[in-house]
């Protein structure tokens, strides 16, 4: 089968190659899936460099998440051949076939195609866990979403709007602002550079943000501490800027806000019932048409380098989805 392999760690993707591998052998308790589409996530890029917190042993097949059709499953697994499913297991998604534990899969939302389902899972579960489960999002809240051109940032914008919040999206590129506005539909798109607190204050009538959703870190996090409303939450989602910020603890004390760390996958592993409830809530919203993942481009897996390089250059507004040869 076709599979994208990380043969060695490198900073320039030179250790990644598209290979022909034997089909996986399904173990008891696993479900064999024909992968129809798989989406690229920032951790996929980081794992090729060995700079993500999860460090699989090299060599490994890349890819966090996919959507596809069940080929084989145990009778008591809850799945049957022909079922349309989505999921992932940290690695293995960028391949024609994947075999993984049944609890790593869920049914695709009714009426959704494979590329859209592949783009939805991790991004929307992260957004829902952060904004709703941990952030306590309420209708009418002001939500400041950084990194709004990325899959997780766009999902946070989309979800927050669907739940009645007012969204301010930020980007580090003025060239992306119009595309973000079209795809995310926020109240406003602003540049996350320098002192952007005044822009947030003007847009919110001085209230500032009830929730700041920050996958960027670095200087953006530093300025975000000035943008949180009293009693609000500053959500630490990631560090795509490359710098992990520091904060003096007197700042949240004086301003009365909370700093909340978000690891959606770990949250679901520690609290599986809540993880299942989050997945069900996201699926319901998708089936109702309330949320729709944004896809920047769909590529055959043979053009994997184009997708990875576009992510590394930060050219994307939405997800890259790969389609393997069958």
Q: Assign residue 247 the CATH number of its domain.
A: 3.90.180.10
Burial 252-278 (b: 16+ CB within 10 A, else e): beebebebbebbbbebbeeeeeebeeb
Q: Same domain, yes or no, for 127 and 261?
A: yes
Q: Same domain, yes or no, for 51 and 160?
A: no
Backbone region of residue 273 per phi and psi (left: phi > 0; alpha: psi in -120 to 50; beta: other values): alpha
pLDDT at 242: 87
In a domain, 278, yes or no: no
Q: Which of 174, 144, 159, 146 is nearest to 284 (CA)?
A: 159
CB 63 within 8 A of CB 92: yes
pLDDT at 5: 98
**What domain range includes position 53?**
2-108+294-323
Q: Same domain, yes or no, for 22 and 46?
A: yes
In a domain, 218, yes or no: yes
Q: Same domain, yes or no, for 169 and 303?
A: no
For residue 218, the surrounding DSSP H or E stretch is helix 218-224
For residue 100, the surrounding DSSP H or E stretch is strand 97-101
Q: Same domain, yes or no, for 39 and 100?
A: yes
Q: Same domain, yes or no, for 134 and 78?
A: no
* pTM of the full structure: 0.93
Q: Same domain, yes or no, for 229 and 306?
A: no
Q: Same domain, yes or no, for 214 and 144?
A: yes
Q: Same domain, yes or no, for 240 and 203?
A: yes
pLDDT at 8: 97
Q: Same domain, yes or no, for 132 and 245?
A: yes
For the chain of 326 residues, list the mean pLDDT of each consecutive stretch of 10.
97 97 95 98 96 94 98 96 96 98 95 96 96 98 96 97 98 92 94 95 98 97 97 95 93 97 94 95 96 96 98 94 91
In a domain, 274, yes or no: no
pLDDT at 275: 94
In a domain, 288, yes or no: no
Angle at 148 between CA 67 and CA 158, to 5 degrees: 60
In a domain, 282, yes or no: no
In a domain, 103, yes or no: yes
Tokens of residue 119, six digits: 């783009």
The number of distinct structural domains making up the chain is 2
Q: Same domain, yes or no, for 312 and 228?
A: no
Alpha-carbon gap, residue 105 to 283, rounded angstroms: 13
In a domain, 226, yes or no: yes
In sequence order, which residues have a C-beta less than 8 Å from that of residue 305 and are 6 or more positions away? Answer: 13, 16
pLDDT at 325: 87
Q: Same domain, yes or no, for 200 and 252?
A: yes
């Amino acid at each position: 089968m076709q599979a994208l392999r990380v043969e060695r760690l490198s900073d320039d993707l030179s250790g990644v190659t598209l290979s022909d591998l034997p089909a996986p052998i399904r173990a008891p308790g696993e479900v064999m899936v024909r992968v129809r589409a798989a989406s690229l996530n920032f951790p996929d890029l980081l794992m090729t460099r060995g700079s993500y917190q999860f460090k699989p042993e090299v060599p490994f097949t890349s890819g966090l998440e996919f959507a596809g059709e069940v080929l084989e499953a145990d009778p008591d697994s809850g799945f049957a051949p022909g079922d349309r499913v989505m999921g992932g297991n940290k690695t293995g998604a960028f391949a024609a076939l994947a075999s993984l534990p049944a609890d790593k899969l869920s049914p695709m939302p009714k009426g959704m195609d494979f590329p859209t389902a592949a783009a939805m899972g991790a991004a929307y579960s992260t957004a829902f866990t952060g904004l709703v489960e941990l952030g306590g999002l309420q209708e009418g809240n002001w939500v400041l979403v950084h990194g709004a051109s990325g899959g997780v940032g766009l999902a946070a914008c989309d979800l927050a709007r669907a739940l009645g919040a007012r969204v301010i999206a930020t980007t580090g590129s003025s060239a992306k602002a119009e595309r973000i506005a079209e795809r995310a539909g926020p109240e406003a798109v602003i540049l996350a550079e320098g002192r952007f607190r005044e822009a947030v204050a003007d847009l919110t009538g001085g209230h500032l943000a009830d929730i700041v959703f920050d996958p960027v870190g670095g200087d953006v996090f530093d300025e975000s501490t000035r943008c949180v409303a009293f009693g609000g939450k500053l959500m630490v989602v990631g560090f795509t800027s490359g710098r992990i910020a520091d904060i003096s603890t007197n700042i949240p004390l004086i301003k009365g806000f909370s700093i909340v760390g978000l690891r959606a996958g770990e949250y679901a592993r520690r609290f599986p019932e809540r993880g299942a409830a989050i997945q069900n809530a996201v699926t319901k919203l998708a089936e109702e048409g309330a949320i729709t993942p944004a896809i920047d481009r769909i590529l055959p897996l043979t053009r994997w380098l184009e997708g990875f390089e576009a992510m590394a250059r930060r050219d994307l507004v939405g997800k890259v989805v790969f389609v393997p040869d069958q």
